[in-house]
Structure 1
Amino acid sequence: MFPMVTEFMNYGKQTIRAARYIGQSFIITLSHTNRLPVTIQYPYEKSITSERFRGRIHFEFDKCIACEVCVRVCPIDLPIVDWKF
């Protein structure tokens, strides 16, 4: 075939491929518009943690008065606390 015809066919294939990729990316973008936002307005809204959330336990020995409230509300059921510092 003539080189000009093959270049024109190649140009057509590239144009169709580019249009397909643009269409696919547009569909992906539209699918993300219906999702809920991931972030929250932190000081005004608190995040909802699951019942089994295992975050870091924060304990301040300087403020401890040995009331054992921390033992009652402990998420890992701490059985014994040694109050001798």
Structure 2
Amino acid sequence: MSGTERSSEGLDLRRRRILFRSWHRGMRETDLLLGRFADAHVADLSEAELDGFEALMEAPDDRLYKWLVGTEAAPADFDTALFRRVLAFHQLRATS
């Protein structure tokens, strides 16, 4: 089961791959964090933001998870506007 709540219908190939990959990383906790963000925003991300999201998905799951939950600071090369957008998305979900 992927967990995605969004259909890939209507998405271009790159966005379909990103959506799939964000839900199939290997560590379920990270899948939930990246996958939910991708469900909500993959269709609206600019090409530069897609580049940033793909770069973020290259980080090792255990490190990425620590950065996203705040138990470890993200290194400068990952602490981007898109990373902060992912963080804000989950903080907003947690307070809603």
Q: Same fold (TM over 0.5)?
A: no
TM-score of the pair, normalised by structure 2:
0.19
TM-score of the pair, normalised by structure 1:
0.21
Larger radius of gyration: 1
Higher helix share: 2
